Amino acid sequence: MADLRFSFSAGPAALPSPVRERIREDFAGWDGGRTSILEVSQWNPRLLDTFAKVETDLREILTVPDDYAVLFLHGGASNQFAMVPMNMLGDGGRADYLHTGLWSGKAVQEARRYGQVNVAASTAGTEFRSVPAQRELALDTTAHYVHYTPVETAHGVQFDYTPETGDVPLVADATAALLATPLDIGSHGVVYASTQKNLGVVGMTVVIVRRDLIGHAAPFTPTTFDYAVHQRTSSRFTTPPVFAWYVTGLVLDWVRDQGGQPAMIERSRRRAEALYSTIDASAMFTAPVDSTSRAWTNVVFTLSDANLTEIFLKEAEEEGLADLRGHSAVGGIRASLYLGMPEAGAHALGAFLTDFEARHG
Amino acid sequence: MADLRFSFSAGPAALPSPVRERIREDFAGWDGGRTSILEVSQWNPRLLDTFAKVETDLREILTVPDDYAVLFLHGGASNQFAMVPMNMLGDGGRADYLHTGLWSGKAVQEARRYGQVNVAASTAGTEFRSVPAQRELALDTTAHYVHYTPVETAHGVQFDYTPETGDVPLVADATAALLATPLDIGSHGVVYASTQKNLGVVGMTVVIVRRDLIGHAAPFTPTTFDYAVHQRTSSRFTTPPVFAWYVTGLVLDWVRDQGGQPAMIERSRRRAEALYSTIDASAMFTAPVDSTSRAWTNVVFTLSDANLTEIFLKEAEEEGLADLRGHSAVGGIRASLYLGMPEAGAHALGAFLTDFEARHG
């Protein structure tokens, strides 16, 4: 492959290049180069300051209300597919799930093992081409919570509204959404996001949870899956995911430098718009998702001649546009545009689409 | 504090300095510096080759028999305290546990939530100053497994033999033991070790498990806690702990360069011997653990005058000998001597002990 220009990897995703540089500098220079952030004791005062600052910054940048805890947990969002019902269903309660793509489907499957799951809306019948409207949600007012996935990474679907669930806590798998799309923490009971998309590197999931929802774990919940344990220990019940926590801090420093969450969201919208408008203007490429439900961070599209897909991927790689293959469950092309993607990357891909169509159309 | 000379951190532990250098080089140079190992897709061929090589190397260096799977899982060993009973007790079976310190005690507590636990031996009554002898183990021949902790990090206790459990699978929390003490994989049903001590950085646990013991998870086991899921997906059911997996590979490269496991074990024994012999020759310092049960990777000792402990820690820091405070559950002093610790570190600490006693004795 030619020199990499832009990675459209769905995850681990590209870091903002200033963050990559900061890691390089810190890695060479921590304590005069005699050690590194990977090796200091979990009680190191500088490390503890780092952890505390990340939480403060996250609370400020995301406007997290005081009655929410912020937890920094090992592992990916798939752990939350079990942790949410384990912590919120008691022993066999009921929950509503909105099924809008691959990942919310996985969340449904896992939750079924811990309680009664009502799929309050599903767009499976229309191949996940849109989000259900509020009036289409068959919500149970006695449910313990409503779970949804604001952005579906594989199918490229995004909620353009926050579901209204009354007094029932709303739970969001915001892995692909947080910081890149509008999301009001205070409208949710729980917001969780693995950090490998917008917030840093693989290995950590941030869980923002209203404090009154903590402390109700089912008896069979592993101790490391109990929100109450992590709240009580400031996410240091075990040695925490030190490196991922630190990188998230660097990402948040960069976000603030760039103008905070509003600037991130606006940039994310523009990146997506640039690419979708090229696709819509083309006769060769098709974005299957309805225009109001298209994900900003995951632009999914197909070629009118499926035989050209492999040629497209090969030529893109040769142009330094990497990792554009669609998720194996969906096929086609997917361009992931997370926080680390400069607008120039979306424009470069758009230009490549236009050029590819001129040559092969 | 003065310039760091040696870190005795119990975890995250110091990396071998050539490993630290390799990370620095790779981090600057991966794909011409345009990206980093933190950002490549989990399907990147170079990354997949790295993952495969780490498993091959681990199998070779530890002599892992073919009928064992090697899993690379997110999170620390505390997850295994739940995963072992969830995967091995069915729904409410029986297991034997040997209670020899803080960590095996935690394993007992967690296992009690998933089945019947028989503490087949406990040294709690003698403040964990030794391991129980084989003849003292009240083993149940119908137990699903026997769990023990070859090296207890907080109390500094080490088994000087492998418990004989007949047909009952033996399960080892080898976090502090693996590669640094003799441990025959084939004598065990399961050996697990978080990588933050001897094997690299925090965020991953290696689980080596006999294949016939996989596939029996209790129904309430989270999917990410089911050994069968990870075996089937080559530990890539979710995006794996990429960075920790890669660092473990660098550690194994270094281990091979140094002469493999036998050289590591011999060096570990010598480091410990140097320090324990200084302690035993002193009138000021006492190692409370019986001489045959002393851990090589965690040298625990006290000062005859407890008022000197804080002065000792402060002066040690000033000499660049860092992180010697004992575990909060035990107190006193603890020197962790994991793979990254050069023999010179143990000698430097020994010399400091002698000097400290001369000045304060």
Report ipTM for this prediction: 0.96
Residue B236 backbone phi and psi in degrees, to 5: -125, 40
Tell me, yes or no, if B1 comes closer than 8 A to chain A by beta carbon: no
Tell me, yes or no, if B125 comes closer than 8 A to chain A by beta carbon: no
Mutate to test the interface with A, among B3, B19, B38 (most CBs of A within 10 A): B38
Give yes or no for a contact between B47 and B37, defined as CB atoms under 8 angstroms apart. Answer: yes
Tell me, yes or no, if B114 comes closer than 8 A to chain A by beta carbon: yes
What are the tokens at A292?
A: 């109001």
Q: How far is CA B209 from CA B19, B55, B88, B184, B357, in A?
A: 27, 13, 11, 13, 47
**Range B174-199 average pLDDT:** 97
**What is the per-residue pLDDT for A112?**
96
The label of the residue with tokens 């003065």 reads B2
Question: What is the rounded distance in angstroms from the CA atom of residue A252 to the CA atom of residue A260?
Answer: 8
Q: Is the pLDDT of residue A41 over 90?
A: no
Give yes or no for a contact between A78 and A225, defined as CB atoms under 8 angstroms apart. Answer: no
What are the tokens at B357?
A: 């006693």
Q: Is A106 a catalytic residue?
A: no
**What is the per-residue pLDDT for B32?**
73
Q: Is the pLDDT of residue B1 over 60?
A: no
Alpha helix (H) ranges present in chain B? 17-29, 45-62, 77-88, 102-111, 227-232, 242-257, 260-281, 309-318, 343-360
Of the pLDDT bands very low, low, confident and very high (cuts 50, 70, 90), residue B53 is very high
The label of the residue with tokens 């300051």 reads A49
Question: For the segment A180-192, what is each residue's pLDDT rounded down to a tens digit?
Answer: 999 999 999 999 9
Pairwise CB contact (< 8 Å): A41 & B10: yes
In percent, the amount of chain B with pLDDT more than 70 equals: 99
Question: What is the rounded distance in angstroms from the CA atom of residue A72 to the CA atom of residue A68?
Answer: 13
**What is the per-residue pLDDT for A24?**
87
Tell me, yes or no, if A32 comes closer than 8 A to chain B by beta carbon: yes
Of the pLDDT bands very low, low, confident and very high (cuts 50, 70, 90), residue A40 is confident
**Range B10-19 average pLDDT:** 91
- Please enumerate in sequence order all residues whose Cβ is within 8 A of that of B43, keeping only pairs 6 or more positions apart, or say none: A323, A325
DSSP string, B84-127: HHHHHSTTT-EEEEEE-SHHHHHHHHHHTTTSEEEEEEE-GGGT
Give the three-state DSSP class for B192.
Answer: strand
Of the pLDDT bands very low, low, confident and very high (cuts 50, 70, 90), residue A56 is very high
Helices A77-88 and A102-111 meet at what angle, rounded to 10? 40
Range 298-337 of B in CB contact (< 8 A) with A: 322-323, 325
Of the pLDDT bands very low, low, confident and very high (cuts 50, 70, 90), residue B3 is confident
**Strand order, beta sheet including A68-74:** A68-74, A204-210, A190-194, A170-173, A146-148, A94-99, A116-122
Helix/strand/coil percentages in chain A, nearest 5:
40, 15, 40
- Please enumerate in sequence order all residues whose Cβ is within 8 A of that of A142, keeping only pairs 6 or more positions apart, or say none: A94
Q: Is the pLDDT of residue A7 over 90?
A: yes
Please tell me the least confidently modeled range out of A12-21, A56-65, B107-116, B138-147.
Answer: A12-21
Question: What is the rounded distance in angstroms from the CA atom of residue A130 to the CA atom of residue A153?
Answer: 13
Q: Which of the 8 DSSP states describes residue B154?
A: T
In percent, the amount of chain A with pLDDT more than 90 equals: 90
**Range B305-321 average pLDDT:** 96
**What is the per-residue pLDDT for A334?**
98
Of the candidates A53, A91, A103, A160, the residue annotated as catalytic is A103
- The angle subtended at Cα B204 by Cα B215 and Cα A209, nearest 5°, is 90
**What is the per-residue pLDDT for A220?**
93
**What is the per-residue pLDDT for B121?**
98
Of the pLDDT bands very low, low, confident and very high (cuts 50, 70, 90), residue B151 is very high
Pairing of strands A146-148, A94-99: parallel
Pairwise CB contact (< 8 Å): B32 & A86: no
Which of A184-197 are b and which e, b meaning 16 or more Cβ less than 10 Å from the residue's Cβ? ebeebbbbbbbbbb
**What is the per-residue pLDDT for B282?**
97
**What is the per-residue pLDDT for A3?**
84
More confident residue, B24 or B312: B312
Which amino acid, residue A245?
Answer: W
Pairwise CB contact (< 8 Å): B40 & A242: no
- Residue-averaged pLDDT of chain B: 95
**What is the per-residue pLDDT for A290?**
98
**What is the per-residue pLDDT for A28?**
77
Alpha helix (H) ranges present in chain A? 17-29, 45-62, 77-88, 102-111, 227-232, 242-257, 260-281, 309-318, 343-360
Question: What is the rounded distance in angstroms from the CA atom of residue B197 to the CA atom of residue B10?
Answer: 7
A71: number of Cβ within 10 Å: 22
**Which chain B residues have a beta carbon less than 8 Å from that of A10?**
41
Q: How far is B175 from chain A (nearest CA, A)?
A: 13
How far does CA A130 lie from the centroid of its chain? 18
Question: What is the rounded distance in angstroms from the CA atom of residue B296 to the CA atom of residue B275?
Answer: 10
Radius of gyration of chain A (CA): 21
Q: Is B173 a catalytic residue?
A: yes
Q: How far is B240 from chain A (nearest CA, A)?
A: 8
Give the three-state DSSP class for A336.
Answer: strand
Pairwise CB contact (< 8 Å): B11 & A42: yes
Question: What is the rounded distance in angstroms from the CA atom of residue B197 to the CA atom of residue B334?
Answer: 14
Pairwise CB contact (< 8 Å): A238 & B323: no
Identify the CA nearest to A196 among candidates A188, A185, A205.
A205
Of the candidates B57, B96, B140, B173, the residue annotated as catalytic is B173
Q: How far is CA B140 from CA A144, A341, B315, in A?
A: 43, 59, 50
Nearest CB neighbour to A9, from listed B12, B27, B40: B40
How big is the A-B interface in CB pairs under 8 Å? 193
Q: Is the pLDDT of residue A91 over 60?
A: yes
Of the pLDDT bands very low, low, confident and very high (cuts 50, 70, 90), residue A33 is confident
Question: What is the rounded distance in angstroms from the CA atom of residue A224 to the CA atom of residue A235?
Answer: 10
Pairing of strands A157-158, A151-152: antiparallel
Question: What is the rounded distance in angstroms from the CA atom of residue B140 to the CA atom of residue B34?
Answer: 58
Nearest CB neighbour to A27, from listed B23, B223, B238: B23
- Residue-averaged pLDDT of chain A: 95
Nearest CB neighbour to A4, from listed B35, B78, B81: B35
Mutate to test the interface with A, among B202, B247, B317 (most CBs of A within 10 A): B202
Q: How far is B87 from chain A (nearest CA, A)?
A: 13
